[in-house]
Structure 1
Amino acid sequence: MSNTTIEIREIQPEDNPQIEAVIREVFIEYGLPLVGTAYADQETPQMFESYIGQKEVYYVVVMDGIVEGGGGLKPLHGMEDEVFEIQKMYFSNRLRGKGFGKQLFETCLAKGKSLGFSRAYLETIPVLKEAIHIYESNGFKHLKGPLGSTGHFNCGIWMEKKL
């Protein structure tokens, strides 16, 4: 692993096919619901174009020149002034367990705070226990139901953190 190069950077147009493949790969690997989740989102095939608005950004994790994961943030629909949502944080099995999920998650939290948001929100699926552990260890608290209007009716876990 000593010759491996890892970079976390903002997404570029040419990254779209690779990050889409990673997202879809994770859904298949874990047997996650394909409807009512990021898998079916219209923005998944065009991630660069989906994160070019104000107060939003998507990062990719590149290992040896290949996009192996990513995650981003956007203002939460319906609560845009105060809450941002951490979105589409997925990592290939080649990248998991190396600390980059935690690093990218912390990058997103810092970016949201720097953009003036007072709260961070996320939705996830119960089987993604490694991700939930990262969220809890970063001070996220479980909610009884969703915030805003994400359209992800199949997630089942909603979490929030005051910044």
Structure 2
Amino acid sequence: MTIRPITADDDETMGAIARDNLAAVGLDIPGTAFFDPEIMHLSGFYDDDPARRRYYVAVDDDGRVLGGCGLAEFLPLEGTAELQKLYLTDEAKGHGLGTRLVGLVEEAARELGYRSLYLETHSKLKAAINLYEKLGYRAIDPVSPGHAAMDHFFIKDL
């Protein structure tokens, strides 16, 4: 398996993975990433400002996208990026890939000069919440949530 920056060739697959993950837990509703305008064009969004944004995909030995995770500036908190769109195929879950992707995003955030990572998620995404807590993210009150349906908010100093 390889983790690399997203390309336009990955957009449709990664968008489908994200939407499938959200739909599987009933979060294919307004106020979630399901309806983000860039969800089917992630490479364009992240490539538009590489000094402040990054997105990585994991691909298997056959070149199939297994999932991804990224970061972008989070203007409400100075020196903070938002960890965004961590989604994996069902077959990729439970093998440490989420941990690897988040670790790479944290490393990229430090390289870009961010001092902390913020994230928002939903109580229905229990595995994600467990991962974030295991990796040292601490729960906080909402800070100008970008997705109104989200109900859990975390931050981690880098």
Pairs within 5 Å for 1:114-133: 114-133=111-130
1:3 maps to none
Who is 2:148 aligned against? Answer: 153
* 2:138–2:155 CA contact under 8 A, matched in 1: yes
Does 2:48 align with 1:50?
Answer: no
- Shift of the alpha carbon at 1:150? 4.7
For the Cα contact (< 8 Å) 2:72–2:83, is it kept in 1?
yes
What is the aligned partner in structure 2 of residue 11 from structure 1? 6
The CA distance in 2 between the partners of 1:20 and 1:159, in whole Å, is 24
Residues in 1 aligned to 2:52 and 2:145: alpha-carbon distance in whole angstroms? 17
- 1:77 and 1:150 in contact (8 A); partners too: no
Q: Which residue of 2 aligns with 1:85?
A: 82
Structure 1: tracts of 5 or more residues without a match: 1-5
TM-score normalised by L of structure 1: 0.90
2:92 pairs, out of 91, 95, 105, with 95
CA-to-aligned-CA distance 1:114-162 (integer Å, 9 cap, x gap): 11111110000111111111111111110122x2x45201010000011
Picking from 21, 25, 30, the partner of 2:25 is: 30
